[in-house]
Amino acid sequence: MTFTIEPITHKFDNEIQAIIDGKTKPLGALGQLETTAKAIARVQVTQSEQLARLVIKKPALIIFAGDHGVAAEGVSIAPSEVTGQMVANFATGGAAISVFCRQLGWDLSVVDAGILHKPSPELNVIDQHLGNITQPLHLQAAMTVETVKEGFSKAKSLISKTKKNGCNLIAFGEMGIGNTTSSSAIMAAVMNISAVETVGKGTGVSDDVVKKKQQVVEQALKLHADKLSDPIQLLACLGGFEIVQITGAMLAAAEDNMHVVVDGFTCTAAAMVAIQINPAVKDYMIFAHCSGEQGHQKMLTWLTVEPLLSLELRLGEGTGAALALPLIQASVAFYNDMASFEQASVTKVV
Residue among 217, 220, 244 nearest 231 (CA): 244
Cα–Cα nearest to 72, from 125, 4, 138: 138
Q: Residue 49 contacts by C-beta under 8 Å, 6 or more apart in sequence?
A: none
> Using CA atoms, how far apart are residues 179 and 246, in angstroms rounded to an integer?
13
- Among candidate residues 15, 255, 317, 342, the one labeled active-site is 317
Catalytic residue status for 317: yes
Using alpha carbons, select from 271, 302, 267, 266 the residue that is nearest to residue 284: 271
- Cβ contacts of residue 234 below 8 Å, gap of 6+? 186, 189, 190, 224, 227, 228, 273, 276
Q: Which residues contact 34 (CB under 8 A, 6 or more apart)?
A: 20, 28, 331
Closest CA to 106 of 116, 121, 117, 96: 96
Residues classed as catalytic = 317
